[in-house]
Each structure stands twice: as structure tokens, then as C-alpha cells.
Amino acid sequence: MTFKPGDVGADSLTGWSIATGVAALGFMVYLPLGSLPSFAGFSEHPSALTVAMCICGSLSVYGAWRRRLAVATVVRRTLFFGAFLAVMGNVNYAHYVYYYSHTVPDAQGAPRVGEPAPEFTVPDPSGGSWSLQAFKGTPFLLVFYRAHW
């Protein structure tokens, strides 16, 4: 059984490819997304995306299963590899949304509102340094971030 013109949904090569591609996007959550602003939705609508990816993953598996008896070995392998990627993309995304993203450690030692900010000194490559005193008299927003954010 091969893809034929007129096939629809996961039965069409285009439909199967899109479903597989969308589900496999689940791998992107662990990649540096900062340069891909269009993927902001990955963080902002996790439940909707989880459902969408599960549907796409299911369609991908369904499309591959329908053609499990394809004559050409390369077609069979491509389909099942694609379906495998789709399923793993689903698993990866769900793992990030429902487990990993909640692993931020407590910050019990962080200064509280009303307390003085701790003294710090950060040497810079020019031989100088930055310290709390350097900002005395200037209100400042101090943001700690992970490298690729």
C-alpha cells in the first residue's frame, strides 16, 4: 500500500508529513528557542499544544501503520522512523511541560523584599569590576537568566 493522489488526512503523504513534523516539534522544547520567537507558544499554551501534538503523533502512527505492508523497505523504514520521532516528540514535550519545567530549585537564600541587596563584585575582562556600590544612587532591575534566554 502506497500513498496515492486523492488520499486525505494521515493517508496522504502531505498530511502524514505535517502530522509527523508537528509532533516531532516536541523536541524543540529542550533546544535554545531564543532565536525562534515564533515558538513562544511552546511555553504559553502547553495544554493545547500537548493535545495537538498527541493528535498529530497519533495520526503519524496511524499513517505508518496503514502502510506497514508497503513493498519498498525504505518507505516502511521512513514511515516507522517518522512515527517513532513523532511519538518521542510527544513524550519529550510532555516531559518538559509536566515535569522538567517544575524542577526550578527553591531560592531560600535569595534576598527578600525590604532587605539590603547582598554585596557583590564581578570582575570584567578590562580589569575593572562591577559591584553593588557601582549602582548606588541608581534604581536597577537585576535579572538572572539562563544563557540562551
Beta-bridge partner residues of 129 = 123
Please tell me the distance from the alpha carbon of residue 83 to that of residue 16, in angstroms, as a whole number.
Answer: 9
- The contact pattern for other proteins, residues 81-100, with x = CB under 8 A and - = no contact, is ----------------x--x
Measure the CA angle with vertex 57, ends 49 and 64; round to 5°. Answer: 160
Out of 47, 74, 113, 127, the residue judged to bind other proteins by CB under 8 A: 113
| Piece in contact with other proteins (CB under 8 A), picked from 8-16, 18-26, 29-37, 53-61 | 29-37
Amino acid at 142: L
Out of 34, 51, 65, 128, the residue judged to bind other proteins by CB under 8 A: 34
Residue 87: CB minimum distance to other proteins, A? 22
Number of residues that this document lists for the chain: 149
On whether the CB atoms of residues 63 and 11 are closer than 8 A, the answer is yes
Nearest residue to 97 (alpha-carbon basis) of 34, 48, 147: 48
125 binds other proteins (CB under 8 A): yes
Site residues (CB under 8 A) for other proteins? 32-35, 37, 40, 43, 46, 97, 100-105, 107-122, 124-125, 130, 132, 135-149
